[in-house]
Chains A and B, each alone.
Chain A
């Protein structure tokens, strides 16, 4: 699904990713952990094609294609989804309107006709139930006046409607209370399937109690310095990152 080789990214003049390599096969959930400022969000933004994140070396292949050659909106249309750490508010633009435009853009890319308004609303309502979201959400502006928890739920709702092949979730668990965390985790779990891959960027083990990862990677100083199974996350929770950083140095 996703194959990253020796990826190097600078933001402004700062080198952030410095030879990062990672393989995420279809059907798997990978967790990326690491200390603050190690490049976790930069990895997510680089893959999504955010302007200002300049790739200076290496390559990324996504479903056999050169991901970095694609425009950001095309990456999204081909099934790459980024769940933002800080989803932005777009005042006056209706949630449902944005979501419908997003779904239709992806359908157009696949040669499908635009979604029927009634079917679309049925689909959104069904996914809203999973995310335990209130009906009033439908008439509100995109993230407008949402609490931190509501914004994160909205990200996962969008993901459930768009059904991406590759989901990158950037600290989706931050700022959530335990009930909201369970709802969000449940949403992510419903998307797990053999033809999809999910990459979770997180600081904490607690998300991984609810979404069981197949692999756990530690990102530090712009590269993956350790990979392992779910037990690695528990070890990190107990011991922190320092022992790894000294090892790597």
Chain B
């Protein structure tokens, strides 16, 4: 086959010039087989164990088929039509500091609202910016290094801390977990790695901005955060992508590990391109996020604001293995126009007296379909486990939908489970009340929707909360009227 021959040819040419060079970026040609996986691993100079791990994942993936249980509908993804590696052209081996970063890339970040210099400095945020698949800039490395915190791109971590990667990679989301996680395990290109040593409180919020840039590329990020005993970290993730007519696949994996008395707070504001009013284009966001509270008294908290993507398939979950461990999930998901969101969480209680809280706010507008899907599972070992779930849906207009699928499995009689759910519309009474106070309809809708989401927004770091409110306002433009 010519394509295969072409690929062999490419792989044979070595790392530096071994892949197709576009005008702007260097990519592997579309398609997926063992050679592609080996090529990715070689380009990234990965140790043997990782290449083998990728190949194991690929072989398993080939035996799987796409899940169909989610309440979403979309055209089939042509996995052989995707290019599995795309990176900005490197001048040398890659930038060592901000000064070495292509000014055009920095400009893009400015447009996204991530001015690395100022925002990072003012807000005290260290940004590990990912452009397509390769990390291009990391700030505040020094301050973090002094605290003993490791915060770097996944590729760097593979080179510098292979022991940690080998120990923790796939320990929360194994390569066999699900179709998309398995695919990611085979082809993941880059992502972030965080390690907080024993007893360290990370001196600043860590933040990553992802961006899918090149057309027809999938983005397969892999994030791994390990919080050792008694440590604390807050991690912010923002996502956005430019407008494209075709659908793009984003299949990321995030793994969190919290040891004894450790705490991880993971916040996401996701604004991938949702497609246009008629549902043309937009990101398929098929993401696996899971945290394991491995130690006693550990705590993992997920907060997400999902306003983008054509399709969202995402269930940030907690495995509460440690005694007295705590899992939290706070979510705002918006589905406007033709967006489909199937999102929720899983709380798996293993340890005694483990506790979990789920607060989900779904907003449906236009022809959007919003589904909450949640599982609360209490295993026989989880004496005295407690869960509280609150699941609210807000409908705007008559053509959208809200669906709730809460699953509860209790195998220990001492557990306490509470579930509250509501579905409401923005009432005409509320709207008229605001109008009668002189407030315009658009402002009134924003005000009411933000009020609806308040219990989630208050979990976000301050600067993110403001961004989330603005995003909701933009995403809901013209939803009423």
Contacts and interface: CB of A to CB of B under 8 A. Distances in A.
| Interface size, A (range) | 20 to 34
Given A88-B427, A90-B430, A73 B451 contact: no
Given A93-B448, A93-B451, A141-B451, A88 B429 contact: yes
Interface stretch (B215-223, B234-242, B436-444): B436-444
A51 B455 CA distance: 31
Interface string B19-43: 0000000000000000000000000
Interface string A147-165: 0000000000010001000
A92 B450 contact: yes
A84 B451 contact: no
Interface in B434-481: 434-441, 443, 447-448, 450-455
Nearest to B447: A93
A101 B437 contact: yes
A48 B437 CA distance: 10
Contacts of A84: 433, 436
A162 B434 CA distance: 13
A50 B447 contact: no
A121 interface: no
Contacts of A92: 450-455
A90 B451 contact: yes
A27 B61 CA distance: 80
Interface in B319-351: none
Interface string B399-436: 00000000000000000000000000001111011111
B451 A102 contact: no
A72 B432 contact: yes
A105 B437 contact: yes
Contacts of A51: 428, 432
A82 interface: yes
A142 B430 CA distance: 10
Contacts of A162: 437-438
B439 A105 contact: yes
What range describes how many residues of B lie at the interface? 20 to 34
B434 A98 contact: yes
A185 B344 CA distance: 51
A91 interface: yes
Contacts of B434: 90, 98
A82 B435 CA distance: 11
Of A91, A109, A162, most buried by chain B (CB within 10 Å of CB) is A91
Contacts of A175: none
Contacts of A93: 447-448, 450-451
Given A88-B430, A92-B455, A77 B450 contact: no
B450 A102 contact: no
Task: Name, among A50, A77, A97, A101, the residue most crowded by chain B CB atoms within 10 Å (CB to CB).
Answer: A101
A76 B430 contact: no
Contact of B448 (A87, A90, A99, A158): A90
A102 B438 contact: yes
A106 interface: yes
Contacts of A72: 432, 435-436
A106 B451 contact: no
Nearest to A109: B438
B394 to A, nearest CB: 11
Interface in A79-122: 81-82, 84, 87-88, 90-93, 97-99, 101-102, 105-106, 109
Contact of A158 (B429, B437, B440): B437
Given A93-B447, A98-B447, A73 B435 contact: yes
Given A73-B438, A101-B439, A105-B437, A50 B432 contact: yes
Contacts of B427: 88
A102 B437 CA distance: 5
Contacts of A158: 437
B84 to A, nearest CB: 44
A148 to B, nearest CB: 16
Given A88-B427, A90-B430, A105 B440 contact: yes
A113 B382 CA distance: 59
Contacts of A105: 437-440
Which residue, A48, A72, A92, A98, has most C-beta atoms of chain B within 10 A?
A92
